[in-house]
Amino acid sequence: MRDYTKFYIDGSWVEPGQAKTLDVINPATEAVAGRIALGTAADVDRAAKAARKAFKSFSRTSREERIELLESIVAEYKKRHEDMAKAITEEMGAPVWLAQRAQAAMGAAHLQTAAAVLKSYKFEEPRGTTLLLKEPIGVCGFITPWNWPVNQISCKVAPALATGCTMILKPSEIAPFSAYIFAEILEAAGVPAGVFNLINGDGPTVGAAISSHPEVDMVSFTGSTRAGIEVARNAAPTVKRVHQELGGKSPNIILEDADLNSAVTGGVKAVMLNSGQSCNAPTRMLVPGKKMEDVIAIARAAAEATIVGDPSGNVAMGPVVSETQWTKIQGLIQKGIDEGATLVAGGTGKPEGLDKGYYVKPTVFANVTNEMTIAKEEIFGPVVSILGYDSVEQAVDVGNDTEYGLAAYVSGTDTGKVLDVAKQLRAGQVSLNGANPDLMAPFGGYKMSGNGREWGDHAFGEFLEVKAVLGMPKQAAAE
């Protein structure tokens, strides 16, 4: 059993301010896998002061020094890749293959991308006799989720380090193991004392303390829209920058000329990936109404082919993260049945033979209308809702008829039509014909899916202030 009851503050593993602990549950077995300490506002204050002290020198480091530091972190990360993957499987139930090839791999990928961007990023821009400087914003507070734990940590920490910021991290108390390994990696790589600090705790206590602390200049939160609103409220009195990556209910528009078998099967698999626990999952599949019966047959086959089970085995889908999530998902599946959607596959209860663990049946509903609860609420589980449309214009209108705007998907063989639909969708990222992720593509949402962008060079701007220096000699300003 893992015992992670110390915090990493000012370059040392220290005792928390109180003795209160929390058990961490393995969602595949429902057994206690470890325990963490729960922090307090006093712990946050200690970390914030350490980060503020470290900022004075770290903000003045050279580009070359930060590149070297990031490359050192990548080297240490590679040594711990297997440890990281095992921790993610244990804490949140990702199948071994997914933990190794995607979950843990993304942590290293963001670090490598930040190092590459840093090599040519322009922190100074001369404009006549004015010099524009992009300077590190200061102390950053990071509050990260449990669904892609190290991915969300790394895509915040990497650009923050690259731009010269210092930080405090509060990972999810539900899946905290990977964050501890990440902290150990940074320590081994020689990150200066106070630059990175780790405190465990819950949102109402530690999260609120980070969001409201006067020494924190910027807070970056990934999680539910409900919690994101609270982060913004807590941050408002100190007028700090707030960056949020929140919920989604992403439309997946399959045009009439698309390869139906490929698009529908791919759409179902994309939702089942990570047990449906991805904010950008294509959970609303919009298809031509006249092809609904064909779509139902393909979607049913894809869902029934999804192997669910012990994540340490050769399965496509493990459990969802907790009993709370399982119960919420069951309630929404039942809501879909009650509101008259056609249950194509799955349904309530656990899959056959899986009595222990928080397993959910791969579920598909058809003949869904956009007024139904399952089309409006973010289920955050392996549930696909299929909606029919009569025209492309209607598909776009329904696709945009949501309070969210994180991602969208379009499939079709006519490139011009696909792109035209993509341009009309109100979402921060639109994937065409099953495109692979792009580490340099900005990730973030419109509307209630948040603000700001992560990943690649666009992430750097979240951690920089712009200073205009007027009255420079023309020659000096041009250098």
**Residue positions annotated with a catalytic role:** 245, 279
Q: Are 9 and 42 in contact (CB under 8 A)?
A: no
- How far lies 46's CA from each of 9, 18, 199, 469, in Å? 8, 13, 10, 34
349-385 burial code (b ≥16 CB/10 A, e <16): ebbeebeebbbbbbbbbbbbebebbbbeebbbbbbbb
Q: Are 153 and 181 in contact (CB under 8 A)?
A: no
Q: Shortest CA distance to 72 belongs to which of 156, 187, 194?
A: 187
Integer Cα distance of 478 and 127 in angstroms: 8
- DSSP secondary structure, 15-64, as one string: --SS--EEEEEETTTTEEEEEEE---HHHHHHHHHHHHHHHHHHTT--HH
Integer Cα distance of 103 and 86 in angstroms: 10
Calculate the CA dihedral of residues 222, 225, 229, 230 and round it to 10 degrees: -70
Write the burial class of residue 224 (CB in 10 Å: 0-12 exposed, 13-18 middle, 19+ buried). Answer: middle
Integer Cα distance of 453 and 49 in angstroms: 27
Q: Shortest CA distance to 172 belongs to which of 164, 186, 187, 182?
A: 182
Angle at 152 between CA 56 and CA 84, to 5 degrees: 100
Would you say how long the chain is, in residues?
Answer: 479
* Residue 216, helix vs strand vs coil: coil
- Placement of tokens 């244990």 in the chain: 90
Write the burial class of residue 196 (CB in 10 Å: 0-12 exposed, 13-18 middle, 19+ buried). Answer: buried
Which neighbouring-strand residues pair with 465?
Answer: 135
SS3 content of the chain, % helix, strand, coil (to 5): 45, 20, 35
Amino acid at 252: N
- How far lies 159's CA from each of 135, 162, 233, in Å? 13, 5, 25
Integer Cα distance of 325 and 276 in angstroms: 11
Q: Which residues contact 280 (CB under 8 A, 6 or more apart)?
A: 248, 250, 406, 407, 429, 443
